[in-house]
Amino acid sequence: MDVVLARQLLSVRLLECYLDTSINSHFEFCSPVFKSRSPASSVLGEALQEHSCTKSNSGSIRAYAATTSSSGSTDRSTSSSGSTYRSTEQSNDESSSASSDGSPTSVVASHTSTGAIIGIVAAIVFAVAIAIGIGIWCIRAQRKKKQTKLELIESQGYHLWEDETIVTTRIPREKVILETLISSGGYGEVYRGSFDGQPVAIKMLPQHSRRNIQLVNAFLAEAKLLASLDHPHIIHFVGVAWNSLTDLCVVSDLVDNGDLRALLDSYDSNHHPTGFDYVKIIIAFHVAQALTYLHSLQPMVLHRDLKSRNILVTHEMVAKLTDFGVSRERSDATMTAGVGTSLWMAPEVLLGHRYDEKADVFSFGVVLSELDSHVLPYAHAKSSQSGNKLSNTAILQMVSLGSLHVQFSENAIPLLKDLGQACVSMDPAARPSAAEVLYHLQLCLKAC
């Protein structure tokens, strides 16, 4: 049994040594690790040294080696120790022969080494494949992300092509021809152009905003609102056109005489008398009619950006309210979003408080002061110390605190002056409604 055990242990040791050598030859960069004797090898060596058969036959091994060396014969030993050595030697020869002649031990070692290499290579290939797959996925995801912002609108469109109002007013985009830029602002660009050979105004989002979901959505909301309005003193909506939402445009009637601000600037430069004449009252009357209409709708519509630049005037001095980019249907009692142009804003809007349609009435009162004096709101406001014109920030602070109000000239009709001052009251409840404003303007027209 001791001899058999020794042969088995030696075979295992030879196999381990062969594996160490094979692995070292394939992975030289790891040689310090692989060339070091493994714990298993150390344990095996110690076991061989301590084993009884190894100890008892050590002398016989030396004697046999000496005899073999002197006689050159390997067949002589007949003693029990020689037999033992012959058995051991035969085991070594068999192991060596098996290793060199493709015996099972060599095959196992070879297969183990090849299998290890194949496994490692397969793992590397698998890892590279995963890395490539992740890279491709990231690229596609990035492209999809870039497309999603616009494609989400085009595919869902915020129900644009499902909305009855928009669908019934959609016009062919190829028939809408852009010509020259009329004006440009934060909410869009307005072009002079034509539709079916007729002159029109074409409003589009600025180039940098056409892929912004929120701005496109707001633009579509304006188009839908305009399509639902029908009043002689609100700009007439022709239709909405698009091939893709990047070239979405809202088409309306062209008023080529400019806006009220341009008219008042010409009055000021030409020293037109201040105060209210018939033309000015008519313009105010038209605007009040438009406001009364908006505030009477269900739900009520607030313009929220009423100012002289958003009032167009025809050659016949017919006023038309335009630019509903920040207008909203009021579905609840109050609103809090501070929108509009600052110098025309009501104090409650500037302060971020709740507001209602009386904010539009305040803006109308500011417009009345422009019609009277021809100049921009609060143009008279100056610093008490330096005498210089106040900054817009200082003006807005004083307006929100109620320490600064628009002024009316000495030439203003008392009834209209009183009406204007009532419109710009600090307390929204003290302001008249749009319908009450319209009534007082009718009285003024009859008195003219």
**What is the C-alpha separation between 232 and 282, in angstroms, rounded?**
14
Catalytic status, residue 305 = yes
User: Which residue in 230, 265, 305, 360 is the catalytic one?
Assistant: 305
- Long-range (24+ apart) CB contacts under 8 A made by 414-417 are 415/440, 415/443, 415/444, 415/447, 416/276, 416/281, 416/284, 416/368, 416/372, 416/440, 416/441, 416/444, 417/372
**What is the C-alpha separation between 410 and 268, in angstroms, rounded?**
16
197 HSE (CA, 13 A, CB side) = 0
Q: Is the peptide bond before 414 cis (omega within 30 degrees of 0)?
A: no
Q: Are strands 198-204 and 249-253 parallel, antiparallel or unpaired?
A: antiparallel
**What is the C-alpha separation between 47 and 68, in angstroms, rounded?**
27
Q: How long is the chain?
A: 448
**What is the C-alpha separation between 56 and 62, in angstroms, rounded?**
12
Question: How many C-beta atoms lie closer than 10 Å to residue 337's C-beta?
Answer: 11
Catalytic machinery residues: 305
